[in-house]
Structure 1
Amino acid sequence: MSKLRRPVPSGAGEFVGYFGYGSLVNRATIATGVVAAYPARLKGWHRTWRARPDMEADMGPTPGVTLPEALTPSLLTAHRAPGAAIDGLLVIDRADNLPVIDAREFRYHRRDISISDLEFTQTADANGIDPDIRLHVYEARIEHPPTQGPSPILRSYLDAVMQGFLREFGPDGLHRFVTETDAFHMPIHEDRHAPLYPRAVTLLASESELFDLALGRRVNGVRN
């Protein structure tokens, strides 16, 4: 998908923005008709891996996803943290599509943010966004207990996330994603060749090599 940096059409009520900091950074995983997308940095939030909330009793299993028994993969979340900041992608979408994104992120609460919470990689980007448009970020639910059992990171999910960061922010942004994300000590479930993540992506050989190198830095404790 080509990078869209054109101004958002007038009529803020017809559009909505959501800040992706995980798989939503990868435009290839977004099924709705995106109007525009802007690489940005969200101030006052911090990203971490965590065991997913146990919601199966309330909502049932994730539609279209079949996981091996006892495997409950970790998910990425972000939480408010004064002085912190995270890279991501501000996606501008039609407001009618928001229920689709809410369904995708049903393990998260949709929180309000404002344009002043964002720093854009290109100053002109902020000028193209209607100041009255509703902006959101998704934060994992904490009112449910975490699932029990192993909580590895799915390699197929991580590949989609890392590809998004590489394409939006380059190699430096990819390494920044690793170093700025807490709880990256969790084991990785190797499913690259038989993906369990429903929006798995295809990697170039160079991307696979670079992602493995970035994870090697994580394992070896290299933070810069």
Structure 2
Amino acid sequence: MNKGSDRLIAYFGYGSLVNLATLATPYRHAVPARLKGWRRHWQSRPGDGWPERALLSVHRDNACEIHGMLVFDGASSLPSLDERERHYDRVPLTPQDISLACNKAPEMLQSLGHADFFVYVGRAQQAGKPPLLQSYLHTVMDGFLASHGEEGLSAFMRTTAGFDREILEDLHAPHYPRMTPMAEARRRRFDRMLREAGVRFAGDPAADAE
């Protein structure tokens, strides 16, 4: 499919997709946005050769609005996107679900056909409470800080349920293949924020007491 005939699609990213450095496809346009009526949460995921770890997903919550990234791409990228999000299903959205700054994105949204605008939602979770992945979380948090500033980073922590679990500290041998580089001081800050949200690190007094 050539670029001229490539149908336009758009999706709302609420985790690693907020960090544009992790995108593997040559997207057309991306703009920080908010999704109304949804909340993020951590859940279990099927095993796929990686150590068991938590998966970030969303569920409907009319009282919540979450920060994220609205990404426009060509339909030819769908196979790659679906492979990346293979533990997720595409759920259709409408332009009315999105809040964003005034730019060309609203007009682009209105031009989309049915099911061409969506969010990836994790499939039904399995039993258990697997750990979070430090390399993934640092990349996600860095994306929110870059795209939404301090307010957006704080909102990510506040509007995500399920931080009360252990973390797999893998920065020296990252399991997340798209971990982005950043200063050590920023990593330490992110870890402090995670502890404040209830995440348990190895060696923490609260973790040792369990």
TM bucket by the smaller chain?
Answer: 0.7 to 0.9
Distance (Å, rounded) in 2 between the aligned partners of 1:132 and 1:89: 18
Runs of 4+ in structure 1 deviating by more than 6 angstroms, as ranges, are: none
What CA RMSD, in Å, does the superposition of the two structures yield over aligned residues? 2.1
Displacement of 1:173 in angstroms is: 1.1
Contact 1:20 1:137 in 2 (8 A): yes
- Offset, 1:212: 2.1
Match of 2:168 among 189, 193, 196: 189
Matched, 1:100 2:93: no
Aligned position for 1:157: 136
Identify if the C-alpha distance between structure 1 residues 179 and 17 changes in structure 2 by more than 3 Å, giving closer, same or farther: same
Compare relative contact order (CA 8 Å, sep 6+) and give the higher one, 1 or 2. Answer: 1
Deviations 1:24-45 (A, max 9, x none): 1110110100110010000011
Alignment of 1:121-136 (within 5 A): 122-133=101-112, 134-136=116-118
Structure 1 pair 130–41 and aligned structure 2 pair: CA distance change class (3 A): closer
Equivalent residue, structure 2, for 1:86:
66
State the partner residue of 2:155: 176
Q: Deviations over 1:170-200 (max 9, x none)?
A: 1221111011100011111000111011211
How far, CA to CA, are the matches of 1:127 and 1:154 in structure 2?
A: 35
Equivalents in 2 of 1:181, 1:49: separation in Å? 8
Kindly indicate whether the alpha-carbon contact (under 8 Å) linking 2:39 and 2:60 is maintained by their aligned counterparts in 1.
Answer: yes
In percent, how many aligned pairs have the same letter? 38
**1:35 equivalent in alignment to 2:28:** yes
Residues 132, 166 of structure 2: 8 Å contact kept: yes
Letter paired with 1:78: V
TM-score, length of structure 1 as denominator length: 0.80
1:114 to 76, 86, 94: 94
| Match among 5, 10, 16 for residue 9 of structure 2 | 16
Secondary structure at the residue paired with 1:197? coil
Closer, same or farther in 2 for the Cα pair 1:154/1:49, shift >3 Å? same
Output one character per residue of 1:35-78: Cα deviation in whole Å (capped at 9) or x when no partner.
Answer: 100100000111000111x3x5xxxx3xxxx53xxx31001000
- The separation in 1 between residues aligned to 2:14 and 2:64, in whole angstroms, is 14
Q: Which runs of 5+ in 2 are unaligned?
A: 200-210
Alignment gaps of 5+ in structure 1:
1-8
In structure 2, relative to structure 1, the CA distance for the partners of 1:192 and 1:183 (3 Å cut) is: same
Kept after mapping to 2: 8 A contact 1:44/1:84 = yes
Q: Is 1:26 the equivalent of 2:19?
A: yes
Q: Distance in 1 between matches of 2:70 and 2:109?
A: 13
Equivalent residue number for residue 199 of structure 1: 178
Name the amino acid aligned to 2:32.
P
Q: How many residues align?
A: 194
